Amino acid sequence: MKRALITGITGQDGAYLAQLLLAKGYTVFGLVRRSSTAEGAALRLRWLGIAEQVTLLDGDLTDLGSLLRVVAEAAPDEIYNLAAQSFVKTSFHQPHLTGEVTALGAGQMLEALRLQAPRARFYQASSSEMFGLVQATPQSETTPFYPRSPYAVSKLYAHWMAVNYRESFGLHINSGILFNHESPLRGLEFVTRKITDGVARIKLGLARELVLGNLEAQRDWGHARDYVRAMWLMLQQDKPQDFVIATGRTASVQDFCALAFGHVGLNWQDHVTTNPAFLRPAEVDVLTGDAAKARRLLGWVPEISLEQMVAEMVEADLARLAAPGG
């Protein structure tokens, strides 16, 4: 029975990954940072019905000592580093914190791997935001990076540290350059979930309008369940590499609104307004991924369409808000 350690296990990707690994017979450990709101940390794990099947261990990406202890206790065959300060807007407000956790924290995790579990296979969660002001379309593993936010800069540091540790120490380290991936477990601060939550509230008569920022921004959106499957596939390969994971289909925020409102029989133009306060200081206008390498070497293809994902998210928010106490 394989053992896996997931940092960021209480987030969207961590929860779906834990569910996938448990289904494959893994023993799953998760790194959690203690806080005053720790009791609600396992909300997503409970939503998936797996909270009692994982072992949560106290630790912090900014504290190497705690990481060494957690890795020793978990004795993992595979480590998935998904933890980060991952909200782009917040990274502009808290750039130092974002750098400490998302950049230096990944470096601490790599050092814990090197010192405590050098035979374990390691996955680093890189991001399509690293492409930023895109230098070529679509973006592949060889496209130059041009980050446009403190979050993206931090992810780029972590990405190159992963490459350096792989090449310097011969460790089995893989980076997944994942394009945007969503689900009902996405945080409400992200635009896709903000949209589906807003649609549900308007449909149920709890709100009348939805205020957004840049409707023209275009992203390559996939489902988190498909993307965590790609993470696992990377660690099953003999040769560690970096992979772009994407659908190859780009849609705008406006397109996403049209799908979400259309799912409940509403016209998005009747309810959506914009506010410049929600714009980023430096915008990433369009991202489109080329996952040909993942298709060729991993046999990975996305199985859930954009339309299916949006419908699932809207239905989940409708059910949540209609429930007692929702």
Taking alpha carbons only, the member of 80, 75, 148, 150 closest to residue 117 is 75
Tokens describing residue 255? 């397109």
What span, in angstroms and rounded, lies between the C-alpha atoms of 38 and 66?
17
Closest CA to 195 of 272, 94, 279, 118: 272
The yes-or-no answer on residue 151 being catalytic is yes
In this structure, what token pair is assigned to residue 316?
């989940």
Residue 127 a catalytic site member: yes
Return the SS3 of 266: coil
Spatial separation of the C-alpha atoms in residues 57 and 71, rounded to whole Å: 10
- Which of 151, 157, 165, 227 is an active site residue? 151
Q: Which of 16, 26, 128, 129 is catalytic?
A: 129
Q: How far apart are CA 171 and CA 8, in angstroms?
A: 22
Nearest to 105 by CA among 73, 171, 59, 172: 59
Alpha-carbon span 187 to 97, nearest angstrom: 19
- Classify 247 as helix, strand or coil: coil
Which of 127, 128, 149, 183 is flagged as catalytic? 127
What contacts 241, CB < 8 A, 6 or more positions away? Answer: 174, 234, 293, 297
> With contact defined as beta carbons under 8 Å apart, do 34 and 58 qualify?
yes
Gap between the Cα atoms of 310 and 263, Å rounded: 8
Residue 238 Cα distances to 67, 81, 169, angstroms: 26, 19, 16
Active site residues: 127, 129, 151
